[in-house]
Amino acid sequence: MALLERARRGARWLLATRRRLFCGLALAGLAIALGGFLFAWTGAYNIAASRGHFAAVEHVLRFAMMQSVRARAPKEPVPDLADLSLVSLGAAHFEAGCAFCHGSPGRPISAAVRGMLPTPPDLSDLEGKWSDGELFWIVKHGIKYTGMPGWPELERDDEIWAVIAFLRRLPALDRAGYERLARGEVELAPGSGAEIAEGEAPADAAYACARCHGSGKPPRSELVPRLHGQPAAMLETALRGYASGERQSGIMQFAANGLSQDEIKRLAGYYAKLPPLPAPPIAADADAIARGGKLAREGDAERGIPACLSCHSGAALPNYPRLAGQPARYLAGQLRLWQRGLNQRSATGAIMAPVARRLSEADIAAVSAYFADIPPRQEAGR
């Protein structure tokens, strides 16, 4: 009773004047800060990932994370996530960039990853947990304190949507279906015991270019360029641009910045010697193709648009790409990137950017259809 009485008297004394109250609060704040510092300084807090959080802390952290994502996720309409070009591009990037931590069908996460706190979630049962926009926000920005990184190139929403399209497809995939989608023609033949022991088995084809760009076969996604038969100098320039971050693509920067100069040279030389592939047939009308052809051959001097073919044909410099036989969707996508102010820091991007900005949306559709429609020519050896 005496204790209660003493507390009551103390409180009355503290509340008697405003000044006493402020001083009391300041002292309490100071004590809390000092206590916190002592807690950290003495090493009393156990930072071990192996130990996990208290259940209550875990709940609070999860609640705060979910509320934060929900508050920030975009509400705009999403692109068509059933689009196979989007899904297969997303799958191939998932294999290289995400599967190591999140696992993939038939391949559980490694023991090392299992020791992360929080353990990266299995993404095959996302149904109903997050909206498309929320998933997009998480993939784009990553999540603090969890090991989930943000997208390397924050301006490339189009690439992030490819990953979301794949994540929506993921629950329905078994191991074989996943591998077909994510690895394309890249087959992992089981190595012999000796090959596995000596590291000669193709244990990891996660970074293989052919998963997206094809090698013996054409690429499956219409959103990626066909590298077959492109001039080696152009391919080298592009890979160096991605590796240095001069060209903006989260997927290609991730793929290119581990390559050495020598690897870049050999890789470019390999694709340059492959026979060029025609683009998949498109549903463009003959009118658009004819308009695109006129623009490609003659340009439009009135609007300051030079003829595309003066730089993008066989006789041009080897550090310019040849566009014949490239998928229309890829070409249009690249032109729109320049219109949005991306890809203009590289030497060749700086030349193309002002030209692309003078094109209308109808021009883009027309020239893309035209180039997709003409058969490519062999440029190997340049």
Residues that bind another protein (CB under 8 A): 237, 299, 301, 304-307, 310-311, 315-317, 319-320, 347-348, 350-351, 353-354
Q: What span, in angstroms and rounded, lies between the C-alpha atoms of 246 and 346?
A: 6
Q: What span, in angstroms and rounded, lies between the C-alpha atoms of 250 and 190?
A: 31
- For residues 155 and 300, which CB has a smaller minimum distance to another protein in the complex? 300
- For residues 79 and 306, which CB has a smaller minimum distance to another protein in the complex? 306
Least separation in angstroms between residue 99's CB and another protein is 37
Least separation in angstroms between residue 321's CB and another protein is 12
- For residues 106 and 341, which CB has a smaller minimum distance to another protein in the complex? 341
Q: What span, in angstroms and rounded, lies between the C-alpha atoms of 227 and 229?
A: 6
Residues in the chain: 382
Least separation in angstroms between residue 352's CB and another protein is 8
What Rg, from alpha-carbon coordinates, does the chain have? Answer: 28
Instruction: Give whole-number Cα distances, 26 to 7, 8, 9, 35, 327, in Å.
Output: 19, 20, 20, 14, 67
Least separation in angstroms between residue 382's CB and another protein is 10
- For residues 64 and 351, which CB has a smaller minimum distance to another protein in the complex? 351
Least separation in angstroms between residue 337's CB and another protein is 16
- For residues 90 and 318, which CB has a smaller minimum distance to another protein in the complex? 318
- Whose tokens are 């949005």? That residue is 340
Q: Two tokens at 301? A: 């001097």
Q: What span, in angstroms and rounded, lies between the C-alpha atoms of 246 and 238?
A: 9
The one-letter amino acid at 212: C
Q: What span, in angstroms and rounded, lies between the C-alpha atoms of 375 and 326?
A: 9
Q: Two tokens at 114? A: 């299992």
Least separation in angstroms between residue 241's CB and another protein is 11
Provide the 8-state DSSP code for 322: P
Least separation in angstroms between residue 298's CB and another protein is 9
- For residues 131 and 319, which CB has a smaller minimum distance to another protein in the complex? 319
Least separation in angstroms between residue 320's CB and another protein is 7
Q: Two tokens at 87? A: 């899904």
- For residues 98 and 234, which CB has a smaller minimum distance to another protein in the complex? 234
- For residues 215 and 346, which CB has a smaller minimum distance to another protein in the complex? 346
Least separation in angstroms between residue 312's CB and another protein is 8
3-state SS assignment for residue 374: coil
Provide the 8-state DSSP code for 98: I
- Whose tokens are 């051959």? That residue is 297
- For residues 141 and 240, which CB has a smaller minimum distance to another protein in the complex? 240
Q: Which residues contact 375 (CB under 8 A, 6 or more apart)?
A: 278, 324, 325
Q: What span, in angstroms and rounded, lies between the C-alpha atoms of 9 and 15?
A: 10
Least separation in angstroms between residue 183's CB and another protein is 34
Q: What span, in angstroms and rounded, lies between the C-alpha atoms of 216 and 239?
A: 21
**For residue 330, with 0-12 CB atoms within 10 Å meaning exposed, 13-18 middle and 19 or more buried, which class applies?**
buried
Three-state secondary structure readout of 284-346: CCHHHHHHHHHHHHHCEHHHCECCHHHCCCCCCCCCCCCCCCCCHHHHHHHHHHHHCCCCCCC
- For residues 127 and 302, which CB has a smaller minimum distance to another protein in the complex? 302
